Structure 1
C-alpha cells in the first residue's frame, strides 16, 4: 500500500515544467508543395463541415484507428507476409482488403491534417493535444511500412526479405526521431515533405493492387545497361530515400538556429541528450535479429516489426 501511495502521489513534473505548458506555443513550418497547394486548401474547406463540439483529440484518435484497422486486417490475412509472395500454398489477400486499406489510409491522413485546424478553429490548441497527436504518429511510423510490405510479400524474386524491410522500418523511425530532435533544438517543427508523398503513394498503391491485383507488381523495372530491379526493391529504395532525404535539412536548420541564435541555444550536452535513449534502442533492435537463436526475423517478422514500433513510440515520447 505504501508503494501504491507513493506511485499515486509521485510528482512526475516539476512546478516549473507544469507552468511551461501555459507559455508553450506550437510552431511548425510546412513547405511541401503538395501540402501547400493541394492538401491545406482541401483541409481548410473540409474542417468547416465538422461541428465545433467535435473534439480535435477525437479526430486524432479516429485517424489513428483507421491506420490500426489496416494493421489488423493485414495481420489477419497475412501475418507472415506470405500471401502476396505468389509462392505455392499461399492464400492471396481478398481484394476488398486493398480497397479498405486505401480508404483507411486516406481517412487517417485527412483526419491527421484537420485535427490541428479544428483545435485552432475552436480555441483548444495546446501542448497536450500536440503531444497526443505526435505520440500516435510515432506508432503510425511502424504501421505504414509494415502494411505496405503485404503488397509485395516476402517473394524471393520480386521483393525483399523481412530483414531488409526491418531496416526500412528503422530508417523511418530514425527520420521521425530526428525531425522531432530538430524541433527540440530549434523550437520549430519543420514538417518533412516525405510524409505527404508517402501517404498519397500508399493510397495509390493500395488502389492499384485492388484494381489490378498483387500479381501486377511481380515484374522487374528495366534499368538499361544496369540490368533490372524488382518492384519490391524499388519500393524499398523509395522508402529509404524518402525517409532519409530530410536529414540534410535537419542538420542545416539546427546549425542555422545556433548561428543565427533563433533556436533554444542549448549546451552541447543538452542538445544531444535526447539522442542517447534512441541510440541505445537503435543498437539493441539492430543486434536482436542477428543474435536471435531461433532466427526470429524469418520465423515471425511481424512480431519484430510491431515490437520495434511499440518501443520506438515509447522512446520518442
Structure 2
C-alpha cells in the first residue's frame, strides 16, 4: 500500500500551496504584513524545505530543553525556580521563529517557483507533529496539579487530544472539499509566545493566582485553545465525496486510536499517565501525527484511506496486555519501548516518503533548489 500511495501522489505535479484559506484576523491583518517583509530578506538560493525543517528543529530543541528541567511537569508548581528564566524567554524566541518560518515557507516556495507535492507533504507532515510538541511544551508553564493549583495529567491528555483532533479536522475538510481551511487555533502559538514572555518576566507564580472572577489565566488560555476547534462550517456545497461512508472514512482510524489510548489511560492498573505523563503524551502526539500524515497523502492524491491504520494493531495488543494485568510492573517499560518504536517508525516513514520516493520522482533535492542528477 505504501508504493500505491506514493505512485498516486506523483500524479499531482501541479500542486500549489495557495489552496489554503486563512480567515484569522490576527493572521490577515497583523502577521501577513510582517511575513511579507520578512520573506524579502530570505536569500533566493535557500530551499523552502530548509525553512520548514529549521522551524521544526527549533520546536524540538525547545521541547527537549524544557523536558530537561521539567520531565514530570511539576517544576513550575512545587519548585517554581527549577526552570531558569532564560528558558522561558528562549521558548518565546523559538516559538516565534518556528511559527514565522512555517508561515513563510509557502510564500518562499512560490517566490522561487519551487512548489511541489513534496513540499506540501513535508510542511503539513511536520506540522502534524509540531502541533503536539507545541502543546506539550506549554504544559510546563501550567504545571501539573499539586492539589492546589495546576492542571491534572488527565486534563492535559484531553486538551492535547482536542488540539490534535482540530488539526485532523482541517485535513479531513480538505479531503472532502479540496480546500484547506486553516483553523483559528493555528495561531495558538502566538498566544504561547505571550505566555512564555509573561512567565519569564514575572515568574510562573502568575499562573497560580486567580485572574478574573476567580478564574485563572490558564482557564482563559484553555478557552482560546478549544474555542475555535469545532470549525466544520465549510462542509457546504464543495463536497467531493458523494457517499457519507467515503466522507467519514478518514476519521475511523483517529477515533479508534483515541478510544484505545483513552481505555489505556482510564483502565491502567499502574496509572500509567500519572507515572509517565511526558512519555505517554509524546507517544500520543507521534501516533496521531502518523495517522494524520496518511490522511494528508490520501487528500493530496484523491485516494481512499485505509480503514485501519497499522499502528492500531500493536497498540491494541499493548493496551490489552496492560489493562489485563499481563504487563504487571513492566507497564512503564512497555510504554517506553512502544514509544521509541512508534517514534522510530514515524521518522522512518517520513524519510522513505519524502527522501526515498518523492525526491527521486520529482528529480529534486529536499534541502536544495538544484535538480538531482538523473540516474
Q: CA deviation at 1:183?
A: 0.6
Q: Which runs of 5+ in 1 are unaligned?
A: 1-6
Q: Could you say which residue in structure 1 is the equivalent of 2:353?
A: none
- 8 Å contact from structure 1 (residues 78, 93) kept in 2: yes
CA distance in 2, matches of 1:14, 1:62: 25
| 1:95-136 deviation digits (Å, cap 9, x = unpaired) | 110010000000000000100000000001122211111111
Q: CA deviation at 1:236?
A: 3.3
3-state SS of 2:215 partner: strand
Q: Could you say which residue in structure 2 is the equivalent of 1:144?
A: 134
> Which residue of the other structure, out of 159, 162, 167, is the alignment partner of 2:153?
162
Q: CA deviation at 1:269?
A: 2.0
Q: Could you say which residue in structure 2 is the equivalent of 1:131?
A: 121
Q: Which runs of 5+ in 2 are unaligned?
A: 294-375
Q: Could you say which residue in structure 2 is the equivalent of 1:253?
A: 234
Change in CA separation of 1:73 and 1:19 when aligned onto 2, cut-off 3 Å = closer
2:96 counterpart of 1:106 = yes
Matches within 5 A, 1:44-59: 44-59=36-51
TM-score, normalised via structure 2 length: 0.74
| 1:161-190 deviation digits (Å, cap 9, x = unpaired) | 111111000000110001110011110001
CA distance in 2, matches of 1:91, 1:298: 23
2:219 counterpart of 1:191 = no
Name the stretch that deviates more: 270-279 or 300-309: 270-279
CA distance in 2, matches of 1:163, 1:276: 23
Change in CA separation of 1:221 and 1:126 when aligned onto 2, cut-off 3 Å = same
Change in CA separation of 1:127 and 1:41 when aligned onto 2, cut-off 3 Å = same
- 8 Å contact from structure 1 (residues 297, 304) kept in 2: yes
CA distance in 2, matches of 1:13, 1:274: 15
Name the stretch that deviates more: 97-106 or 159-168: 159-168
Q: CA deviation at 1:53?
A: 1.1
Matches within 5 A, 1:291-310: 291-310=267-286
Q: Could you say which residue in structure 1 is the equivalent of 2:208?
A: 218
3-state SS of 2:234 partner: helix
Matches within 5 A, 1:1-317: 11-13=3-5, 15=7, 17-26=8-17, 27-86=19-78, 92-154=82-144, 155-196=146-187, 198-223=188-213, 228-241=214-227, 245-247=228-230, 249-250=231-232, 252-254=233-235, 256-257=236-237, 262-317=238-293
Q: CA deviation at 1:290?
A: 1.0
Q: Could you say which residue in structure 1 is the equivalent of 2:313?
A: none
| 1:14-63 deviation digits (Å, cap 9, x = unpaired) | 75x14522243431111111111111111111111111110101100000
Aligned structure 1 segments of 4 or more residues deviating by more than 3 angstroms: 10-15, 23-26, 230-238
- 8 Å contact from structure 1 (residues 158, 230) kept in 2: no
RMSD between aligned residues = 1.9
CA distance in 2, matches of 1:19, 1:55: 20
| 1:268-304 deviation digits (Å, cap 9, x = unpaired) | 2221111111111111111111121111111110011
Q: CA deviation at 1:159?
A: 1.6
TM-score, normalised via structure 1 length: 0.87
